[in-house]
Structure 1
Amino acid sequence: MNGKKILFVSSELVPYLPENEVSLMSYEAPRMVNSNGGQIRIFMPRFGNINERRHQLHEVIRLSGMNLVINDMDMPLIIKVASIPRERIQVYFIDNEEYFKRKATFTDEEGNLFPDNDERAIFFAKGVVETVKKLNWSPDIIHVHGWMAALLPLYLRNYYKDEPLFADSKIVTSIYGKDFEGELDSDISKKIIFDGISEESISSLKTPNYNNLLKVAVDFSDAVILATEKIPEDLANYISNLQKPVLPYVSLQEFEEAYGEFYRDKVLK
């Protein structure tokens, strides 16, 4: 991975949120690339239950101050950064008072999905791309983890298709076990179509559940990684019919060599 630039975009990341399959691999994969001479950037949402003082988050004024249009509304983009001390890895946080101030990640105290999770996902996808543009950093690989990052491949290949910074970037999506029950807002398709993205390209989102959201992600990815043993059957069958590279599940203890070879031999070939 020496010299290669890899952009990691994740819903969750340790040590900022509790450990689970997504948050742990979203940490381990960048750490592996970093230790093997690659250049990395990591992005995640700045959820309100992240302790800013403990983790020493601070706003980057030169990157903040832009407004993103979400469903015909101007939403201010705030960028914060922090470092994972023992790894010397910097993390960029996408923030907005309306979407991310609440003291929770995806659900309320009763376990119900937040009704604006669809808009939060759109905002996150656009916020990542606009910030990377400001950094003028052209990644060789963009690796997506977690369902709130799942709209990024769609937006890169459609809304930002003429952006030269990403012209040669390859997109990899990691698939994890079912992360939420129920569905996102039924108007998610209308909000995406508002951005000039065709209805045909998001036909899966007529039923905006977890599996269908990830189907859209893999449709616009160049390669797929099965990051858990327990992939929902419907999603696993869909991925098995794709004509693109798929890395089968490997354990955390064995992933470094497998991911490195997959990046090098299948994604960047």
Structure 2
Amino acid sequence: MKKILFVASEGVPFIKTGGLADVVGSLPKCIDKEYYDVRVILPKYVCMSQEMKDRLNYRTHFYMDFHWQNQYVGILEAEMDGVKYYFIDNEYYFNGFKPYGDNALFEIEKFAFFSKAALSILPVIDFRPDLIHCHDWQTGLIPVYLHERFQGSDFYRGIKTAMTIHNLKFQGKWSIKEVQDITGLPMSFFTPDKLEAYKDANLLKGGLVYADAITTVSDTYAEEIKTPFYGEGLDGLMRARSGDLRGIVNGIDYDEYNPETDKFITHHFNAVNFRKEKIKNKRALQADFGLDQDDKAMLIGVVSRLTDQKGFDLVAYVMDELCQDNVQLMVLGTGEEQYENMFRHFAWKYPGKVSAQIYYSEAVSHRVYASCDAFLMPSLFEPCGLSQLIALRYGTVPIVRETGGLKDTVQAYNEFESTGTGFSFMNYNAHEMLGTVRYAERIYYDKKREWNKIIDRGMAIDYSWQVSAKKYQEMYDWLIG
């Protein structure tokens, strides 16, 4: 039995801010239990829901030397879907109203504590993993500490580490002097071949230097981050470690996102009957969110953080032109004020045509995926992206920019060969995007059978976690042998 330990800063259903939590919550339960004992360590945030806190059982506690103090380390545990979870409790570090705060230096101290505590509790819970699977910069110090502090003991010697990059933009950077003081690492670790990058200490870089393997969440993103444009200053390191770097596309939870059983949608449908049944969701969405009742109008959905990364500067640039077309737009999400206000403005200017829902709701997001004809995702960069996978599952045709996971998961429609599961454009250019949307409109209006075949192909692809889990298992076997 191979022992695998996940360590991350969030995981569903306990705590979630983004896609990282979906991976950490979904992947362990899909790993083959016959061959692998997979467990997860998360922080015990005070802001977790009471329902989740009630599932945790106190195990024990001890005190750990950290940042010139003796810090309390509480250990709680819970079991979900056959996976054992451990929670590290310390109210000084994990007490905010949300998992992450705005004070960058405190965040670094918090997750340095978490990384050291995650390693320190292992003998106490009597679990010696063969491999520790670390996620994003918050756990970047685990491979470093394992190399530096814990190598002296037989218990820790030979434990392998894998580091998964969910988004290279976030790295955990601060001045060397303060990070050295917090972590207690010797100064010899703060050199350009280790934790130093551009005169700062960089926690993610430390993890990437010391991990035995590196993964990221799509094949294309794994290639992109070796280039200066996507590499966020670490492209040289990614090129140097390219032999240990692989891309594995995220999956989605096929039980949660299932148009036949989804509790949030008004009418259930599947790959066989969507031609008749799916339209009922569209009618209900139009009625509930102030759009004109029009079966024929092409309804385009957006569920997203409204930020530059997601391509909304392109949308803003051609929004007036797009609204001249016979389309409707349903937008759900929050983000940068300029984009929130841009969508509010167009909802005011084109009533019945544009609906701007500037908040986030899990229930409404399911309805958007299930009701729209097309789904727009023009990202500047997208390590993996889950929205396009959910859209495919619900027979909503994705229109995406060819970057990262979007390029890997949406096959561009080819009308001559009748292949493809969506529409895509390559250059980060507003009119190229608009041209692609209009091409999709043309197929939708003039070649309905072709459009339905695009949906058939999209709904037939398997992007469940089972597929990704097999690829992670291959990596584990390669590392552990």
TM > 0.5 fold call: yes
Q: 1:119 aligns with which of 85, 104, 109?
A: 109
Give the CA deviation at 1:131: 0.9
Give the CA deviation at 1:18: 2.3
SS in 2 for 1:100: coil
| TM-score when normalising by structure 1 | 0.84
Give the CA deviation at 1:70: 2.0
Structure number with bigger Rg? 2
> CA separation in 2, counterparts of 1:225 and 1:179?
15
The within-5 A match list for 1:197-216 is 198=188, 199-200=190-191, 201-204=194-197, 206-208=199-201, 212-216=202-206
CA gap 1:54/1:116 in 2 versus in 1, 3 angstroms: same
Q: Give the residue type in structure 2 aligned to 1:102.
A: G
CA gap 1:183/1:169 in 2 versus in 1, 3 angstroms: closer
- Judge conservation of contact 1:68–1:77 (CA < 8 Å) in 2: yes
> CA separation in 2, counterparts of 1:263 and 1:54?
30
- Judge conservation of contact 2:12–2:26 (CA < 8 Å) in 1: no
Q: Give the residue type in structure 2 aligned to 1:13.
A: G
Aligned to 2:73: 77
CA gap 1:34/1:82 in 2 versus in 1, 3 angstroms: farther
Question: Does 2:177 correspond to 1:177?
Answer: no
Give the CA deviation at 1:30: 1.3
> CA separation in 1, counterparts of 2:25 and 2:130?
19
> CA separation in 1, counterparts of 2:186 and 2:85?
30
Q: Give the residue type in structure 2 aligned to 1:189.
A: Q
- Judge conservation of contact 1:56–1:82 (CA < 8 Å) in 2: no
Give the CA deviation at 1:54: 3.6
The within-5 A match list for 1:1-269 is 3-18=1-16, 20-61=18-59, 63-64=60-61, 66-84=62-80, 87-107=81-101, 112-178=102-168, 180=170, 183-184=173-174, 187-192=178-183, 194-196=184-186, 198=188, 199-200=190-191, 201-204=194-197, 206-208=199-201, 212-228=202-218, 229=221, 231=225, 232-233=230-231, 234-242=233-241, 244-252=243-251, 253=463, 254-264=467-477, 266-269=478-481
- Judge conservation of contact 1:68–1:123 (CA < 8 Å) in 2: no
For these two proteins, the number of residue pairs brought into alignment is 254
Deviations 1:135-190 (A, max 9, x none): 23221111001321111111111011112122121100001114648844661123
Gapped regions of structure 2 (runs ≥ 5): 252-462
CA gap 1:251/1:119 in 2 versus in 1, 3 angstroms: closer
Give the CA deviation at 1:243: 6.5
Percent identical residues: 22
SS in 1 for 2:63: strand
Gapped regions of structure 1 (runs ≥ 5): none
CA root-mean-square deviation:
2.5
- Judge conservation of contact 1:48–1:100 (CA < 8 Å) in 2: yes
Q: Give the residue type in structure 1 aligned to 2:73.
A: L
Q: Give the residue type in structure 2 aligned to 1:248.
A: G
CA gap 1:123/1:249 in 2 versus in 1, 3 angstroms: same
SS in 2 for 1:97: coil
Give the structure, 1 or 2, with the largest relative contact order (CA under 8 Å, sep 6 or more). 1
- Judge conservation of contact 1:147–1:179 (CA < 8 Å) in 2: no
Moved more, 3-12 or 176-185: 176-185
Q: Give the residue type in structure 2 aligned to 1:103.
A: F
